[in-house]
């Protein structure tokens, strides 16, 4: 018997390199149902379309407020019957209605070691604070910004002479490794939310090296 495929809808706002990493991973049991954006000119949309993936954009500037945009986005997303909505560089703050609708099947990647540095400019802020390590976090999304149960984190060193761009590039390489793995874990049903914590049934998950 063929296992049922899980539909993944990926939301992006720009380059889409994390989305690309997930697509190229060709995760067993996962179908990339659509790549959607709030920016019609997002470079990642063109790349996804070239791969034959359905794409669409809703320009947030066409909507009177955040609630109206999120309503329209939910309608668009729901047309693809998503099992997972993946925020991969989607630069929008979401309404609580949006978060509630996809609770337990909404995952975000954030370029810091949460709970440190939620929000924007994470790499510069890590440098300004003199952090010796930085990294990324993949987490389930709740209504509170960048604060949901953590699925995975990747750590990189901060090197002498780093600027925000150099640090961002080092972190991004880890994002590209970690995100497809987290999606594969979700698709395989290995992730279990237990309060604030996520239990991962993949045996190697607990023993993964922290420093990349
Ligand atoms: C990534 O660093 C992601 O963590 C952050 O924005 C960046 C998006 O990059 N939210 P890309 O669009 O995936 O290339």
Would 211 be classed as within a structural domain?
A: no
Concerning whether 176 is annotated as a catalytic residue, the answer is: no
User: Is the sign of the CA dihedral 192, 193, 199, 204 positive or negative?
Assistant: positive
Read off the pLDDT band of 54 (50, 70, 90): very high
Would 141 be classed as within a structural domain?
A: yes
**Cβ of 12 less than 6 Å from ligand 1:** yes
Beta carbons within 8 Å of 77's beta carbon, 6+ residues apart: 9, 11, 34, 36, 85, 102
Based on the structure, what is the number of domains in the chain?
A: 1
**Cβ of 166 less than 6 Å from ligand 1:** no
Would 166 be classed as within a structural domain?
A: no
Would 198 be classed as within a structural domain?
A: yes
Would 124 be classed as within a structural domain?
A: no
pLDDT per residue as tens digits for the range 78-130: 999 999 999 999 999 999 999 999 999 999 999 999 999 999 999 999 999 99
Beta carbons within 8 Å of 212's beta carbon, 6+ residues apart: 135, 154, 155, 156, 173, 174, 177
**Cβ of 14 less than 6 Å from ligand 1:** yes
pLDDT for 209: 64
**pTM metric for this prediction:** 0.96
Would 128 be classed as within a structural domain?
A: no
Token pair for residue 169?
């590039």
Q: Is the model's pLDDT at 212 over the cut of 60?
A: no
Would 73 be classed as within a structural domain?
A: yes
Candidates 105, 108, 84; CA nearest to 12 is: 108
Would 123 be classed as within a structural domain?
A: no
């Amino acid at each position: 018997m063929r296992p049922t495929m899980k539909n993944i809808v990926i939301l992006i706002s720009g380059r889409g390199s994390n989305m690309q990493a997930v697509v190229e991973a060709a995760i067993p049991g996962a179908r990339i149902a659509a790549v959607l954006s709030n920016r019609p000119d997002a470079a990642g949309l063109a790349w996804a379309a070239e791969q034959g993936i359905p794409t669409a954009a809703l320009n947030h500037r066409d909507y009177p407020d955040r609630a109206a945009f999120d309503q329209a986005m939910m309608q668009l997303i729901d047309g693809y019957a998503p099992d997972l909505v993946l925020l991969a560089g989607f630069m929008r703050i979401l309404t609580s209605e949006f978060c509630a609708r996809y609770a337990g099947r909404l995952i975000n990647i954030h370029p810091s070691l949460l709970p440190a540095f939620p929000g924007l400019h994470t790499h510069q802020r890590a440098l300004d604070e003199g952090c010796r390590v930085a990294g990324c976090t993949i987490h389930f999304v709740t209504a509170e910004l960048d604060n949901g149960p953590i699925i995975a984190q990747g750590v990189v060193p901060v090197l002498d002479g780093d600027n925000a761009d150099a640090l961002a590039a080092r972190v991004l390489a880890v994002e590209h490794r970690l995100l497809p793995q987290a999606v594969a874990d979700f698709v395989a049903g290995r992730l279990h939310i237990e309060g604030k914590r996520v239990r991962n049934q993949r045996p190697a998950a607990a023993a993964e090296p922290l420093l990349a």
